[in-house]
Amino acid sequence: MAQFKVAIVGAGPSGYFAAQALQNLATEECSFAIDMFERLPTPWGLVRSGVAPDHPKIKTVSKVFEKIANTQGFRLFANVELGKDLSLAELQERYDAVIIATGSPKGKKLGIPGEDLANSMSAADFVPWYNAHPDFAGITPDFSCDTAIVIGAGNVAMDVARMMAIAPHELDPTDTADHAIDALKKSSIRKVYISARRGAEFAAFTSPELRELPKLEHTNVRMSKEDIAQAIARVGDAIEKDTKSNLDAMTLIAENNDFPHERTMEFLFQHTPKAILGDEKVEAILFDTPTGEVKIECGLVVTAIGYFADGVEGVPVESGKVKNVDGKVAENLYVVGWAKRGPSGVIGTNKSDAAAVIELLVSNLSAPKNAADIKELLGDKKIVEQSHWEKINAAEVAAGEPDGKPRRKVVAIPEMLNIAHN
């Protein structure tokens, strides 16, 4: 029987779905030994550090990841960084195939004046901050203002706006980082705008996310009836299914005139940011609108306008993605997920995407390499293997239990390693 060794770099959804696709293709004649490498001591990628904590259902996919990880032939090497602990060339030498699954962690910039003022930040920093990612624990959003503006009309903008606009006690039974719950409890922000540069018919929100907004228990959600009516008129009868579903959901929001709460989330359409104004820190945004320039005062700006792939040592990146043809990058090097196709689609999109790349990868395999085990290159590195991660996981779940949280996340890497190895 032939056994091929495959390395997957990145323990997020696309990495796990690539592993699952390999496991699904295993036969009696051909199997796969899968080693998954992850820079952090914790796996699950965006499911841990991206998905909004008030959306716990989306995170249940982690059960699928754990099943994949506990399938014979799978090994986790977390706390191992490509480019530092191992080189790409070393992986390519020792594995029959290497799959890059490192996502798109960097936030796109607006490129307008004032973007670098204090308290103007990217969702690429803000989201992992509230999700307890160790690299972002030190950022300190200042919530002492009464108004925040989130720029972008996608689901990430919606998550960010919702996290600031709901009553902070609603986050108590979630796995939001303790530091974020503490800061949001002290927040003076009572108004959160979401600004879209185009009309409502072009918004990238998905309708399930829009449909949950009227159910918020402590937040007014406002949309202008006129904005939505105009969008409906502009699209006319030749309307696509998803656009119709979105505009139907927006009509329901816009028809509500009852605003009893102290906190408000309001949508601004056809507002193109022109400059962020302020002396030392954010004071306002200047927008271009169909009726001219509009200045809106605010003390915090979060841009959620998309992401791009980070340079991974030795991996070619072009236009924010790893350069590839149908997932193939070079001889025995492949890419999946957002690093391959850009930051689009929901978590499940990565399943079909990875399956197609794995089919191509397997069709290109000939004879197994029979190279030495990678462990010998890692020396005394504190690797977090699956059994170690399970200790961190169990400790977090146990720590959350008394407060009714799904988990209380450990933030500091030394503490994670301590739990893993002691």
Give the number of other Cβ atoms within 10 Å of residue 364's Cβ.
Answer: 13
Q: Does 268 bind ligand NAP (CB under 6 A)?
A: no
What is the distance between the alpha carbons of residues 183 and 13, in angstroms, rounded to a whole number?
A: 29
Rounded to the nearest whole angstrom, what is the least distance from the CB of residue 18 to ligand NAP in the complex?
18
Please give the angle made by the CA atoms of 247, 253 and 254, to the nearest 5 degrees. Answer: 85
Binding segment toward ligand NAP, per CB under 6 A, in 185-193, 339-347, 385-393, 395-403: 339-347
Rounded to the nearest whole angstrom, what is the least distance from the CB of residue 269 to ligand NAP in the complex?
10
Q: Which residue's CB atom is positioned nearest to ligand NAP?
A: 154
List the one residue from 34, 121, 148, 153 that touches ligand NAP (CB under 6 A).
153
Q: Does 21 bind ligand NAP (CB under 6 A)?
A: no
Rounded to the nearest whole angstrom, what is the least distance from the CB of residue 345 to ligand NAP in the complex?
5
* Burial of residue 355 (number of CB atoms within 10 Å: 0-12, 13-18, 19+): middle
* Burial of residue 123 (number of CB atoms within 10 Å: 0-12, 13-18, 19+): buried
List the one residue from 12, 53, 154, 299 that touches ligand NAP (CB under 6 A).
154
Taking CB under 6 A as the rule, which mask of x and - marks residues 281-310 in contact with ligand NAP? -----------------------xxx----
Spatial contact of 25 and 364, defined as CB atoms under 8 Å apart:
no
Q: For residue 131, which amino acid is it?
A: N
Give the number of other Cβ atoms within 10 Å of residue 25's Cβ.
Answer: 15
What is the distance between the alpha carbons of residues 407 and 344, in angstroms, rounded to a whole number?
A: 28
Could you say which residues in the range 202-231 bind ligand NAP, by CB under 6 A?
A: 202, 204, 206, 209
Q: Does 155 bind ligand NAP (CB under 6 A)?
A: yes
Taking CB under 6 A as the rule, which mask of x and - marks residues 53-82 in contact with ligand NAP? --x---------------------------
Q: Does 106 bind ligand NAP (CB under 6 A)?
A: no
Could you say which residues in the range 156-175 bind ligand NAP, by CB under 6 A?
A: 156-157, 159
Closest to ligand NAP by CB, 305 vs 392, is 305
**R_g of the chain computed on alpha carbons:** 23
Strands 317-318 and 321-322 turn out to be antiparallel
Q: Does 197 bind ligand NAP (CB under 6 A)?
A: yes
Q: Does 315 bind ligand NAP (CB under 6 A)?
A: no
Q: Does 346 bind ligand NAP (CB under 6 A)?
A: yes
Question: For tokens 């008030």, what's the residue?
Answer: 54
In the numeric block, which tokens belong to residue 227?
Answer: 């904005």
Spatial contact of 59 and 47, defined as CB atoms under 8 Å apart:
yes
Q: Which residues bind ligand NAP (CB under 6 A)?
A: 55, 110, 151-157, 159, 196-198, 202, 204, 206, 209, 304-306, 343-346
